[in-house]
Amino acid sequence: MAKITLAELADCEAIIQLQQLAYQTEAQLYQDWAIPPLTQTVHSLQQEFPHLVMLKAVSDKKIVGSVRAQLIDGVCHIGRLIVHPDFQKQGLGSELLLRIEQAFPDAVVYELFTGSKSEGNIKFYLANHYRPAYTKNISANLSLVYLRKTAS
C-alpha cells in the first residue's frame, strides 16, 4: 500500500501530471478535454496550495494518488481525489478520502462533487457514506452531482 502524507509545494508538478492521467476517463465520458482538472496548470495549483490541505500517496517514490480540501464555514470541500489507474480498486481512494476527512476535525459536513454520468465515481462515494445533496447544471452536456457526508 502507498504511504499517505501531506503534499509539499514541490509535489505540484507530479500531482498535475497524475491529475491529467486520472481525468482522461472523465474527458472521454463527457467528450470534453477542456474540463478544469485537465486544463489546470502547475502554476495555478501552486497559487492554490497555501489555501488547501493536500495529501499525496507515494509508492516507490512516485505519487500515485492525491486529494485536496479546504474548510469554509464548517463545510469541508473535498476535490480532485485521484488515483493512478494501476493503483485503482485497491482501497487507496477510500483511504485518501478518510485521511482528508480526518484532517478536518472541525468540519460539520464533508462535500464533494462529480459528473452526473460518472457512475463509478458516484457508486464509490455512496460506498463511502456520501449521499447526493443537489445537482448543478453546468452545460447541456454536463451536470455535477454534489454529495455530502455529515461529520460524526
Q: Please identify which residue in the block is written with the cell numbers 516507490.
A: 60
Domain ranges of the chain: 3-150
* Phi, then psi, of 10 in degrees rounded to 5: -65, -15
pTM of the model: 0.95
Give pLDDT tens digits for 107-152: 999 999 999 999 999 999 999 999 999 999 988 778 999 999 999 7
| Topology of the domain covering 3-150 | Aminopeptidase (3.40.630)
Query: Does residue 33 have a pLDDT over 90?
Result: no
Nearest CA to 36 out of 80, 77, 84 is that of: 80
Rounded CA-CA distance 82/64 in Å is 8
The pairing of beta strand 62-72 with beta strand 53-59: antiparallel
